[in-house]
Amino acid sequence: VLDEHLPPDRRSRIRVTGFDGAKWCRYERACFDFILLDAPCSAERHVLADNTALSRWTPARVRNLAVRQWSLLSGAWLLLRPGGRLVYSTCALAPAENSGVVERLCKKYPGSRISFPADGFFSRQPLSALTPEFCSAGVRFLPDRSAGSGPIFFSVLDKPPEPANGPAKNTGV
């Protein structure tokens, strides 16, 4: 799919792997400038159209997915270089899978910063049909307010750059 939609010069800069994103940080750190994490989620959109999806939806499943999302997001954060940007997204409604996971990351890594799109960003086509709802941890689109699109949640997280004198040294204290 990437080969079909990306110019060769951009495709050559993208690394696709089969590694478990939650475990990859055990082997590498700070190796990516940008990370897009489209996390597995409860996908309530499918509940509207598929009765089997409704039968699988439970509060326990949401909790389990939030645990998996936290593993993926915290692992991705460790893979992100200082000064890098991470986009976290789901198609879930549950705050536990959206703002809950992002806020937990911000609490654990105090230098992290949530960025919001610039004014006018959503007025461009085809985004103008969507009505964003801004929350403390990101942006969400709900189907009843976005021409049937959604639910979609995303958060743009910026990792602080290293200080000019390099990474902090462990003094052993």
20 in a known ligand binding site:
yes
* Residue 38 labeled ligand binder: yes
- Give dist(CA 63, CA 55) in Å, integer: 16
Q: Is 91 a catalytic residue?
A: yes
**Cβ contact 21:75 at 8 Å:** yes
User: Is residue 92 classed as helix, strand or coil in its secondary structure?
Assistant: coil
- List, as one string, the DSSP characters of 21-60: TTTGGGT--S-EEEEEEE-----HHHHHH-HHHHHH--HH
Determine the Cα–Cα distance for residues 33 and 17; give it in Å rounded to an integer: 16
User: For 112-132, b where at least 16 C-beta lie within 10 A, e where not — what string?
Assistant: bebeeeeeeebeeeeeeebeb
Q: Which of 25, 31, 41, 91 is catalytic?
A: 91
CB atoms within 10 A of CB 172: 4
Q: Which residues are annotated as a binding site for S-adenosyl-L-methionine?
A: 20, 38
Please identify every residue annotated as catalytic.
91
